[in-house]
Amino acid sequence: MNHLIRWGAVALVVGSLAACAQPVREDEDPAEREAREAAELEAEREAEREAEREARALEDDRRLDAAALDDPDSPLADRLVYFDFDRDEVKEEYEAMLEAHAEYLEANPGARLRLEGHTDERGTREYNLGLGERRGQAVRRVLNLNGASDDQIEVISYGEEMPVAFEQNEDAWAQNRRVELVYDRRE
Amino acid sequence: MLQRVRRGLAGLCGGILLLVAAPASAVLEVTVTEGVAGAIPVAVAPFEWRGDAEPETRLSDILRGNLLRSGLFEIREEDLPAAATGPADFIPEPWARAGAEYVVVGSKQPEDDRIIVEFHLFDVLAEERVGGWRIPVPDDMVRRGGHRVSDIVYEAITGDPGAFSARIAFVQVERHDDGREFRLQVADSDGANPQTLYRSPDPLMSPAWSPDGSALVYVSFENRQSEVFRHDVRSGERTSLARFGGINSAPAWSPDGRYLALSLSRDGSPNIYRMDLESGDLEQLTRSSAIETEPSWSPDGETIYFTSDRAGAPQIYRMDASGDDVRRLTFESGYAARAAPSPDGRSLVYVEGGDGGFRLARLDLDDRRVTRLTDPGDAESPSFAPNGSMVLYAMSEGGQGVLGSVSRDGRVHQRLEGREGDVREPAWSPLEQ
């Protein structure tokens, strides 16, 4: 409800700005108007060129990001952290991998990472939403301690709603108790 | 004089499977998996049609199915005498010989765009009429009429109101090659008349009814995070109620319709909040760094039950609706969650975890006694029928999510199986709609 109200307010403000973008100037003479319109056109073109430059820079960034993230031999290729039943401690075996991700995030301040927390199907659904979030936050803490900035990371819990293994045995459950590291590739 | 028919052996015995014919349009098929010895034998005569083309949906079939599913009745169908329609032509003796203790007879007569249903209930052994009723049913709502008749008959025999007219909401999930489809469904209490309120490729969870039955609240991940929506059942209008950072989940409507209790982790960890639905104002009721979730209201609206793992493992707690006077209620096991208060406010049914898995247990709030209602397995999401007679819950069987139901005393067990995919998170609607 709050969001609806907020977006309603934004729409209202944008609407009123648009209405005053073209003030009527009845007292303007033709030469003045020509000069003003030329200046406006030049400003518009400059804005377009600037946008193009930014887009190119972003494209370069993305290529750089993609190269490091897509290297199958890099520790960055590992994006899964598994947990024990009803636990949220990050096990030692994931330290090196998470350090690599933290370094990457520190070196690429524009990079954004989503930590998606999951649980197995045992226990109640709503409680598991809480548990999935705790796991995501535990991974976030490790990344923060190793240099990643807090505003690069978002934690989302899916609880038990998005299993990857559908059988009902310990093997399947172990695969489902996980945090997935998902980079925002701006695609 | 007629002799009273012996009940014991006539009843369904534990473990016997009995298939109940499901209505043609149902999404759920109901199987009584374990019944009670001592079920009351009832016979239902076909209701005589006094018009031209008889509607395909037959009231007497709906009534038989409902009574059987309640687990309290056994339906006599063999060696029945010719159908009667009322006190004028009803003779008890042949019905008693067929083993019936109660008999329902009736007729249906079209009148404009309605059908007038007249029916009578006889106590065969006492040789007396328990009652007679005339109810008008819109001709496009015959099925609804059948549930209404069932409610009346159930109450006349047991003394408790029936809940057959109430509806159930649930989440159905189908797995496809390219992902899954989640559907929020509403159906009659027998699984008929299914209506899909919303479908999404992203998870839907935690449906809960408004106290007047006109709307549902639930959690949807359609915007890549948990978000609480209100959904008007008739108009289909959807409104986002909570989309804060972190978890937005476990919505529960207060009995007076004014508030929503829900679990939000906007301040770092899940806590229980109370949202004023008129103003949108939020009040934080719990303040802990534990997982605090699954709020549910007592029927009088004065108490909120919830799950918290503040003591190290999930247990059920209670607090005043203002957030004061927090007390732990469960101590019997290492895992207790998702409390569903009974409509009379005197007990809670919840999910209890142990070595063998998860099962339903009932906590008596007066004497704190715990009764186990199901065997250990993977029971979750209990929801009381609005008359308190049974509890619907989710479980799985052979890898498929199905609904189970158990009578309040734990004696009658049934299974409601989806025709397609997994069925989960049942929520029984309030009685008056």
pLDDT in tens, B121-167: 999 999 999 999 999 999 888 999 999 999 999 999 999 999 999 99
Phi, psi of B179 (to 5 degrees): 135, -160
B128-158: b (≥16 Cβ within 10 Å) or e: eeeeeeeeebebeebbbbbbbbbbbbbebbe
Both tokens of B417, joined, read 């199986």
pLDDT in tens, B322-352: 999 999 999 999 999 999 999 999 999 999 9
* pLDDT tier at A25, thresholds 50, 70, 90: low
Cβ pair A127:B225 closer than 8 A: no
Look at residues B133, B158, B183 and tell me which one is the last residue of a structural domain.
B158
- Among residues B57, B99, B10, the alpha carbon closest in space to that of B65 is found at B57
Calculate how close chain B gets to A175, using CA atoms only, in Å.
17
> Is residue B433 assigned to a domain?
no
pLDDT value at B13 more than 50: no
Pairing of strands A113-118, A153-159: parallel
Nearest to A3 among B175, B243, B270 (CB): B243
pLDDT in tens, B382-410: 999 999 988 999 998 888 899 998 888 88
pLDDT at B33: 67
B24 and B132 inside one domain: yes
Look at residues B123, B158, B193 and tell me which one is the last residue of a structural domain.
B158
Average pLDDT over residues B34-42: 79
Cβ pair A156:B263 closer than 8 A: no
B113 and B134 inside one domain: yes
**What CATH number does the domain containing B180 carry?**
2.120.10.30
pLDDT at A59: 59
Which residue of chain B is at minimal alpha-carbon distance from A122? B378
B134 and B214 inside one domain: no
pLDDT value at B50 more than 60: yes
B62 and B198 inside one domain: no
Nearest to B205 among A122, A161, A166 (CB): A161
> Is residue B111 assigned to a domain?
yes
Both tokens of B47, joined, read 């209701």
Cβ pair B351:A124 closer than 8 A: yes
Average pLDDT over residues A41-58: 77
Cβ pair A156:B225 closer than 8 A: yes
Q: Average the pLDDT over each of A24-38, B234-248, B360-374, B390-404 and give the range with the smallest value.
A: A24-38
Average pLDDT over residues B115-120: 96
Phi, psi of A94 (to 5 degrees): -95, 0
- Among residues B302, B317, B308, the alpha carbon closest in space to that of B348 is found at B317
Average pLDDT over residues B197-215: 97
| CB-based burial label for A175 (10 Å; 0-12, 13-18, 19+) | middle
**Segments forming the whole domain that contains residue B27:** 8-158
> Is residue B301 assigned to a domain?
yes
Calculate how close chain A gets to B220, using CA atoms only, in Å.
11
pLDDT value at B38 more than 80: no
Phi, psi of B72 (to 5 degrees): -95, -10
pLDDT value at A162 more than 90: yes
pLDDT value at B7 more than 50: no
What span, in angstroms and rounded, lies between the C-alpha atoms of B20 and B190? 10
Chain A, residues 24-83, CB within 8 A of chain B, namely: none
In Å, how far from its chain's centre is CA A53?
Answer: 23
Cβ pair A126:B225 closer than 8 A: no
What span, in angstroms and rounded, lies between the C-alpha atoms of A177 and B222? 22
Q: What percent of chain B has pLDDT over 90?
A: 73
Helices A95-107 and A125-145, interaxial angle, to 10°? 70
Both tokens of B310, joined, read 């503040």
pLDDT at B369: 96
Average pLDDT over residues A61-71: 67
B151 and B284 inside one domain: no
Q: Average the pLDDT over each of A22-36, A110-124, B21-35 and give the range with the smallest value.
A: B21-35
Look at residues B130, B158, B186 and tell me which one is the last residue of a structural domain.
B158
**What CATH number does the domain containing B99 carry?**
3.40.50.10070
What span, in angstroms and rounded, lies between the C-alpha atoms of B308 and A186? 38
pLDDT in tens, B294-322: 999 999 999 999 999 999 999 999 999 99
Of A2-11, A157-166, B11-20, B406-415, give the range with the top mean pLDDT.
A157-166
The per-residue pLDDT of chain A, averaged, comes to 82
pLDDT at A70: 81
Phi, psi of B330 (to 5 degrees): -110, 135
**Total of domains in chain B:** 2
Q: Average the pLDDT over each of A104-108, B7-11, B282-286 and give the range with the smallest value.
A: B7-11
pLDDT value at A2 more than 80: no
pLDDT at A65: 61
For chain A, the structural domain boundaries read: 34-70, 75-183
Calculate how close chain B gets to A150, using CA atoms only, in Å.
13
B271 and B137 inside one domain: no
Cβ pair B206:A130 closer than 8 A: no
B277 and B353 inside one domain: yes
CATH 3.30.1330.60 for domain A75-183, yes or no, is yes
B76 and B142 inside one domain: yes
B188 and B294 inside one domain: yes
Average pLDDT over residues B418-426: 86
pLDDT at A14: 40
pLDDT value at B99 more than 90: yes
Q: Average the pLDDT over each of A10-19, B175-184, B338-347, B359-368 and give the range with the smallest value.
A: A10-19
Q: Which residues of A touch B294 (CB under 8 A)?
A: 124, 126-127
Q: What percent of chain A has pLDDT over 70?
A: 77
Nearest to B239 among A1, A121, A124 (CB): A1
> Is residue B108 assigned to a domain?
yes
> Is residue B3 assigned to a domain?
no
pLDDT at A73: 84
> Is residue B2 assigned to a domain?
no
pLDDT at A61: 56
Average pLDDT over residues A44-69: 70
User: Do B362 and B373 meet the contact criterion of CB atoms below 8 Å apart?
Assistant: yes
B119 and B144 inside one domain: yes
Which residue of chain B is at minimal alpha-carbon distance from A164? B179
Please provide the DSSP assignment of B97-151 as one string: HTT-SEEEEEEEEEETTEEEEEEEEEETTTTEEEEEEEEEEETT-HHHHHHHHHH
pLDDT in tens, B171-192: 999 988 888 999 999 999 888 8
B219 and B350 inside one domain: yes
B276 and B252 inside one domain: yes
pLDDT at B365: 97
CB pairs under 8 A between A and B: 96
In which residue are the tokens 């289909």 written? Answer: B236
Which residue of chain B is at minimal alpha-carbon distance from A137? B268
> Is residue B211 assigned to a domain?
yes
pLDDT at A24: 47
Nearest to A131 among B291, B335, B378 (CB): B291
